[in-house]
């Protein structure tokens, strides 16, 4: 999906240049952040600002076109975090370098996007030590 430059800039500015899932700043990521379709085009999502989120390449790739995940405990389908309709702090909190999910939506999203994979924790710890990532 080729979005216009203006739209991409607006998505980035609105997110203060941080991934809306893992919160890494685009200057600190190895690959440029992307405008993610919160509800993928495949599922009928449109390319307007109200369906776009700023996402790092890792979160965007892991999310793919998914909009939900299966809770491994209950087997139920759980929607993923929607940065346009929900607040990050209602579904996650930071504990040192860990992104701790506080809802089932947060859990499903953290699991699918691998928010606490070992290498991501190490990166976050480094960025926190440099004052480049929020520490709480
Ligand atoms: Zn991310």
Instruction: Please state the domain count of the chain.
Output: 1
How much is the mean pLDDT over the chain?
95
Total residues found in the chain within this entry: 136
Residue span of the structural domain in which 95 resides: 5-129
What is the pTM (predicted TM-score) of this model? 0.95
Is residue 134 assigned to a domain? Answer: no
Residue 135 in any domain: the answer is no
103/53 Cα distance (integer angstroms):
20
131 DSSP 8-state letter: T
136 within domain boundaries = no
Structural domain contains residue 86: yes
* CB-based contacts of 66-72 (< 8 A; 24+ apart in sequence): 66/40, 66/112, 67/38, 67/39, 67/40, 67/43, 68/108, 69/108, 69/109, 69/111, 69/112, 71/104, 71/107, 71/108, 72/111
3-state helix, strand, coil in the chain (%, to 5): 40, 20, 45
- Over residues 24-32, the mean pLDDT reads 96
Span 7-18, mean pLDDT? 97
Residues with CB under 5 A from ligand 1 (ion): 19, 21-22, 56, 59
Measured in angstroms, how far is the CA atom of residue 104 from the centroid of ligand 1? 19
Check: CB of residue 99 under 8 Å from CB of residue 116: yes
Residue 55 lies in a domain: yes
Instruction: Give the mean pLDDT of 82-103.
Output: 98
92 CA distance to ligand 1 middle (Å): 13
């Amino acid at each position: 999906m080729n979005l216009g430059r203006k739209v991409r800039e607006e998505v980035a500015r609105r997110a203060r240049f941080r991934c809306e899932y893992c919160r890494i700043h685009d200057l600190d990521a190895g690959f440029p952040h992307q405008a993610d379709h919160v509800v993928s085009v495949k599922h009928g999502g449109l390319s307007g600002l109200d369906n776009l989120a700023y996402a790092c390449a890792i979160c965007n790739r892991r999310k793919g076109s998914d909009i939900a995940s299966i809770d491994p405990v209950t087997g139920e389908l759980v929607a993923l975090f929607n940065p346009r309709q929900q607040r990050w702090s209602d579904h996650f909190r930071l504990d040192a370098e860990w992104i701790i999910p506080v809802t089932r939506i947060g859990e499903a999203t953290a699991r699918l996007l691998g928010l606490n994979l070992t290498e991501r924790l190490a990166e976050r710890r480094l960025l926190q030590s440099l004052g480049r990532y929020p520490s709480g």
